[in-house]
Amino acid sequence: MKILILAAPFEFYKGGSELQNTVICNYLEKKGFDVHFLFHYKKDIKSDNFHTYRYLFRKKYNRYLFTDFFQIYRLISKINPDIIYKRGINYITGIGTLYCKINRIPFIAHIASERDVNVFSKRILRNYAQYVKVYFDELINRYVISNSNFIVAQAEYQSNLMKKNYKREANLIIPNMHFYPTEFIKRNNGEIKILWIANFKKLKQPEKFIELAKELKDGNAKFIMIGRTSPNKWSQDLINEIKNINNLSYIGEQSIEEVNKLLAGGHIFVNTSLYEGFPNTFIQAWMRKVPVVSLNIDPDDVLKTNRIGYHSKSFDKMVEDVNTLIENSALREDIGNKAQEYAFKNHSMQNIEKLIQLIENDTK
C-alpha cells in the first residue's frame, strides 16, 4: 500500500510535526507500507532514507492565489497514493483533501496545533491583506475538517475546540510518541541547566526566556537556548542581546540526538510559546526526568493533573516557578520521576499502532 505524507521528513526541516512524520514513516515502512513525502523545498532534493518529491512556490504569496494548485495536484497524481496523511491544516492540506475526494481514496488529517481548530478574531488583524489571508486560512480549515475521511487529534482539548468551532469531533486521539531514551541520565547539581528548545519565531516568544534569564541572573543557573534562527532583524537583535547576558547562551540548531543528550544533563525545561499542539519537547524532557515549566501551554491539563511541571500563565509566576525548582533539588527529582513514568505510559511508540489500525481497517 502506498501512503503519501504531505510534509517534509525531519532531515530536511527540524520541526515538531516533521519529527513525528519521520517517526511514523519509519514505523510504517517496517510494517511493509510504501511511504512517500511531498513538500515545499527551495533546492533539488534527494534523500537516502525516503521517497521524496518537492514543489516550489514561485512567489511569496501565490499560495493564496491558487497559482501552484496544478503543480501540486499533478505531483500527487504522479505518486498515485492509496491514502494521504497530513499533519497540520494549510493550503496543501486542502489540495490533498480535494484529491482524495475526487479519486475516492482516504484522507487522514492530523491536528498539529491549536491554530488548526480555532477560529480567528477580526479584532487582532492589523490590515486588510492580513484579514484576507486569515479568512482564506479559515475557509481551508472548514473544507478540510468537513471533507477529511478521518481526523486525528493529539489531545482531547483539540477535539473539543474542533467540535465547538467546526461541529466535528476527532475520530481518534493519538498522543505524540517518542522512542525511549538511550542516553545516560546524569546531572551535576552544582550548576542548574535550564533549557529552551524551539526555532526563533514570534509565536515561540524567545524574548520571554531571555527576560527570565535576566530576572534570575544572581543564582547558580545556566540558561541555554537551542534552535534555528532567521536572518531577519528581529532574530539577529535577540542573538545580539543574548551575547551580553552572562548566564545565558545560544548554541544554535542541534540534531535531535544532541538535544536529547542536553536534556539528559539538564534540570529544567521552559516553554514560552503562545500556542502549540502537544509539544514534542515536553515528551523529550519528561522521558529524561526533566520538569517542564510552561508559560501558556498545558494540553489537557497534563502538567497540573499529573504534577509533572508547572503551567505558570504569567511571566512573574514563571519566574517564581523556575526559581522554586532551582532551589529545591528534591522537588526537581520528584517531579522528574513522575514525568518519566507519565511519558513512558502515555507517549511510547505503542501509540502508532492506533494509526496503523485506522489505515488498515479503512483500506481492507
Rounded to whole angstroms, how far apart are CA atoms 27 and 29? Answer: 5
pLDDT at 68: 76
Task: Answer whether residue 293 shows pLDDT above 90.
Answer: yes
Query: For 124-166, how does the pLDDT look when each residue is reduced to its tens digit (9 = 90+)?
Result: 555 666 666 777 778 888 999 999 999 999 999 999 999 999 9
Question: Once rounded to an integer, what is the mean pLDDT over residues 279-292?
Answer: 96
Rounded to whole angstroms, how far apart are CA atoms 44 and 141? Answer: 30
CA atoms in the 13 A half-sphere facing the CB of 32: 3
Q: Which residue has the cell 522537588?
A: 331
143: buried, middle or exposed (CB in 10 Å: 19+, 13-18, 0-12)? middle
Q: Residues of the chain with pLDDT > 90: what percent?
A: 59
Same fold, 2-177+349-362 and 192-346: yes
Torsion, Cα of 157, 22, 265, 215 (10° steps):
-50
Locate the domains of the chain by residue range.
2-177+349-362, 192-346
- Structurally, at CATH architecture level, domain 192-346 sits in 3-Layer(aba) Sandwich (3.40)
Question: Between 206-215 and 315-327, two packed helices, what is the crossing angle to 10 degrees?
Answer: 50
Q: Residue 104: left (phi > 0), alpha (psi -120 to 50), or beta?
A: left
> 3-state class of 313 per DSSP?
coil
CATH top class, domain 2-177+349-362: alpha beta
CA 101, distance to chain mean position in Å, is: 27
Query: For 217-238, how does the pLDDT look when each residue is reduced to its tens digit (9 = 90+)?
Result: 988 899 999 999 988 999 999 9
> 69-82 burial by CB neighbour count: b if 16+ within 10 A, else e?
eeebbeebeebebe
pLDDT at 123: 46
Rounded to whole angstroms, how far apart are CA atoms 174 and 355? Answer: 8
